[in-house]
């Protein structure tokens, strides 16, 4: 096991009717900005619940954070925050709204050009306090210090992490997921699944507890996905779905383990160039990357096969290969496409992504053995 730090100060408030407790979670002297997305919270009743809970305490609203939140949009919010002297951000929405709000919280306190936080690793020395009401379980951003922001002017999608942007609290009411369209539920399931795999399907440094905690999340996702997708207001299935997505990326299962994240890095470029949803990009890249890196990931993939997909026979290599096939089958079972062809992306199109990795000189993977050349080979396996 590797040495690690684990420190997650986010206060989770989980369950039915918990939005009503919002007023107790934000200090009374705070001037609040409510940040949300395209307005779905006005249709599904969440906006009304938030407004009722805070009884006139919202100083200003900022709507319009888009999927794959844009730097340009976030900077409009920063201007508003500075103009109105806001000192608390309440983000109500899914991963994009919360990621955007984290960047806004950091950018509002940043000396210099905030894009540097993303592009140059500029240190976030302070951030506005942030609370969230999660309405789309998927990314785990409600309980971590991660954020991913896109920039329209340069077709870029970049991530940052800071201990300063962990939400002070996150309200997770599974009933808010009832109104989600099927493709967003499917995306959430696949997103959480792949998050776990980035922290699991590498090589072992003997972390049996963390391995089993990771398997706990994916076994549960597999068990409940059918019930979640029926959209039949199945509370317990929704609750487990929400808690799985949070546990998939809150720092717990990566304690002391070796991580990968190459699938995410390549997937981000598919989103940046071709507009795929985050989870859609992951479901394409993961199987191709696993096939390409089979020799390096074989032991863990075989363990995944045994403990999640119930593959009991065959050699370690055969189990690993069967685990890849079973994972693809699982993605298909939730109606998630797994090839570039499904989105009409051709071999020629791949070159855009390859060129970007070549220009940046990025090296990926737990063995740091994936250069632009391997990205090309991997994406060719994803056609």
Where does this chain bind its own copies (CB under 8 A)? 1-18, 205-210, 212-213, 215-217, 219-220, 223-224, 235-236, 239-240, 243-244, 247, 252, 255-256
- Residue 211 CB, nearest distance to its own copies (Å)? 8
Q: Which residues lie closer than 8 Å to 326 by C-beta, 6 or more apart?
A: 305, 308, 309, 311
User: What is the edge-to-edge ordering of all strands in the sheet holding 32-35?
Assistant: 58-62, 32-35, 88-93, 130-134, 169-172
N residues, the chain: 383
CA neighbor of 62 nearest in space, from 105, 29, 21: 105
Tokens of 53: 């809970």
Of 142 and 366, the one with the shorter C-beta distance to its own copies is 142
Do 71 and 151 form a contact (C-beta atoms < 8 A)? yes
Of 159 and 216, the one with the shorter C-beta distance to its own copies is 216
CA neighbor of 37 nearest in space, from 84, 99, 117, 83: 99
CA 300 – CA 320 distance, rounded (Å): 8
Tokens of 341: 């062809």
Of 10 and 73, the one with the shorter C-beta distance to its own copies is 10
- Residue 16 CB, nearest distance to its own copies (Å)? 6
Of 12 and 65, the one with the shorter C-beta distance to its own copies is 12
- Residue 220 CB, nearest distance to its own copies (Å)? 4
- Residue 195 CB, nearest distance to its own copies (Å)? 14
- Residue 176 CB, nearest distance to its own copies (Å)? 14
- Residue 30 CB, nearest distance to its own copies (Å)? 19
Of 70 and 214, the one with the shorter C-beta distance to its own copies is 214
CA 100 – CA 26 distance, rounded (Å): 20
Of 17 and 83, the one with the shorter C-beta distance to its own copies is 17
Do 55 and 49 form a contact (C-beta atoms < 8 A)? no
- Residue 139 CB, nearest distance to its own copies (Å)? 17
Of 10 and 40, the one with the shorter C-beta distance to its own copies is 10
DSSP for residue 370: B
CA 88 – CA 101 distance, rounded (Å): 11
- Residue 209 CB, nearest distance to its own copies (Å)? 4
Of 14 and 203, the one with the shorter C-beta distance to its own copies is 14
Tokens of 375: 């990205």
Of 82 and 212, the one with the shorter C-beta distance to its own copies is 212
CA 61 – CA 76 distance, rounded (Å): 12
β-strand partners of 164: none
Do 279 and 68 form a contact (C-beta atoms < 8 A)? no
Pairing type for strands 58-62 and 88-93 reads unpaired
């Amino acid at each position: 096991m590797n040495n690690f730090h684990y420190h997650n100060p986010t206060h989770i408030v989980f369950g039915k009717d918990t939005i009503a407790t919002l007023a107790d979670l934000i200090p009374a002297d705070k001037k609040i900005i409510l940040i949300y997305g395209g307005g779905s919270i006005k249709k599904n009743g969440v906006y009304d619940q938030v407004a009722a809970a805070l009884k006139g305490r919202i100083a200003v609203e900022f709507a319009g954070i888009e999927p794959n939140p844009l730097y340009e949009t976030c900077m409009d919010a920063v201007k508003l925050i500075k103009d109105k002297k806001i000192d608390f951000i309440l983000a109500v929405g899914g991963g994009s709204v919360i990621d955007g709000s984290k960047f806004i919280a950091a950018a509002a306190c940043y000396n210099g050009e905030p894009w540097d936080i993303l592009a140059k690793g500029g240190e976030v020395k302070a951030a506005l306090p942030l609370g969230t009401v999660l309405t789309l379980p998927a990314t785990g951003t409600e309980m971590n210090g991660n954020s991913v922001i896109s920039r329209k002017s340069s077709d870029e999608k970049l991530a940052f992490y800071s201990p300063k942007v962990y939400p002070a609290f996150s309200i997770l009411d599974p009933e808010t997921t009832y109104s989600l369209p099927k493709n967003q539920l499917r995306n959430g399931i696949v997103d959480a699944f792949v998050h776990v795999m980035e922290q699991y399907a590498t090589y072992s440094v003997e972390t049996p507890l963390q391995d089993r905690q990771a398997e706990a999340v994916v076994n549960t996702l597999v068990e409940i996905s059918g019930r979640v997708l029926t959209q039949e207001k199945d509370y317990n299935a929704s609750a487990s779905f929400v808690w799985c997505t949070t546990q998939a990326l809150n720092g717990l299962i990566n304690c002391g383990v070796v991580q990968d994240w190459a699938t995410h890095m390549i997937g981000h470029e598919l989103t940046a160039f071709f507009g795929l949803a985050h989870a859609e990009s992951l479901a394409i890249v993961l199987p191709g990357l696993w096939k390409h890196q089979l020799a390096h990931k074989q032991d863990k993939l075989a363990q995944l096969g045994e403990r999640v997909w119930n593959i009991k026979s065959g050699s370690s290599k055969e189990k690993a290969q069967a685990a890849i096939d079973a994972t693809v089958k699982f993605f298909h079972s939730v109606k998630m496409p797994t090839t570039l062809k499904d989105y009409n992306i051709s071999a020629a199109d791949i070159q855009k992504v390859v060129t970007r990795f070549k220009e940046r000189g990025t090296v990926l993977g737990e063995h740091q053995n994936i250069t632009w050349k391997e990205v090309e080979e991997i994406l060719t396996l994803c056609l």
